[in-house]
Amino acid sequence: MTRVEVKKTYKLYVGGAFPRSESGRSYAVSDARGQFLANASLASRKDARDAVVAARKAQPGWAGATAYNRGQVLYRVAEVMESRRTQFVEETRAAEGVTPARAAALVDAAIDRWVWYAGWSDKYPQVLGGLNPVAGPFFDISLPEPTGVVAALAPQGSSLLGLVSVVAPIIVTGNTAVVLASRERPVPAITLAESLATSDVPGGVVNLLTGDPAEMAPWLASHRDVNAIDLTGVAGTAIDWAELERAAADNLKRVRRPRLSQDGPTEPDWSANLGLDRLTAFVETKTVWHPKGR
């Protein structure tokens, strides 16, 4: 008897579960050579709204976890990614059209970057905060706090390394994320969502949507329960990032602009050392005054 291969259904990742789009829509994903690869869910605005609700529900608990705990949870994600390294390499190779050796290098860099950000979970408050000198009998202490719910447009070109470089710094500080994956290269992102689901990341901390950024991005930018938005992923699309920035300004969001060149938005060099720039983009500084006493 000839065995029938079990075809995988690529779904969304919302609230720790894997629902299909409420619209029932899907779209064909091709590899770098134009060959059919998979069908992915085409998320709707209702799916985006559900993702924001899930992210808001999860945010207080995730922000309230100790920095040590968040670091351990994120390190566990890297462990799961390492165990699925072969799958990530094959999916990255197919998505980006690179050689197996190059795909392996990109996957290794993505796992290492996830570990690097996990290691900052209990260190960034000391770097970004401190005891401020004041002329009076007071302690004046500044500490970074998470912004809240962050929407992110993942890079269109870098299917895994760029995605990790966008998502990890958002959540390590206690934010929750609603992420729109690359439209043309969503498969490694879905596998990352499966790694999150099979680790210790609470449901709703990361919510991943697949579909058309031109449909989803304006909705996320204008959503009044989204506190910040990362526009990195507009590079390589026809989306006017300035329009998204104006939509975000309607209710006072933090906006991380895309990297700009003379030709418009471009993706950063994800293999370069990114520093703490992405981590600091979505934290607020809280200053507390307290009397010293006698």
Per-residue pLDDT tens digits for 193-213: 999 999 999 999 999 999 999
Q: Is it the case that residue 92 has pLDDT exceeding 90?
A: yes
Q: Exposure string (b/e) for 107-144, b if CB count within 10 Å is 16 or more? A: bebbbebbbbbbebbbebbeebbeeeeeeeeeeeeeeb
- What is the percent of the chain with per-residue pLDDT over 70, rounded to a whole number? 99
Q: Select from 197, 272, 236, 193 the least CA-distant residue to 10.
A: 193
Q: What is the pLDDT of residue 294?
A: 60
Which domains, and CATH codes, for the chain? 26-291 (3.40.605.10)
Question: Can you give the pLDDT at residue 26?
Answer: 94
The residues with which 260 forms a beta bridge, in sequence order, are 265
CA distance 14 to 2: 36
Q: H or E segment at 37? A: strand 36-41
Of 258, 67, 232, the C-alpha closest to 166 is: 232
Burial 28-55 (b: 16+ CB within 10 A, else e): ebebeeeeebbebbbbbeebbbbbbbbb
* pLDDT tens digit sequence for 19-47: 999 999 999 999 999 999 999 999 999 99
Mean pLDDT of 42-53: 96
- Strand pairing report for 206-209 and 259-261: unpaired
The predicted model scores a pTM of: 0.93
pLDDT digits (tens, 9 = 90+) for 102-141: 999 999 999 999 999 999 999 999 898 888 888 888 888 8
Overall average pLDDT of the 262-276 stretch:
89
**CA 18, 92, 183, 178 torsion: positive or negative?**
positive
Quote the tokens at residue 75.
Answer: 């390190």
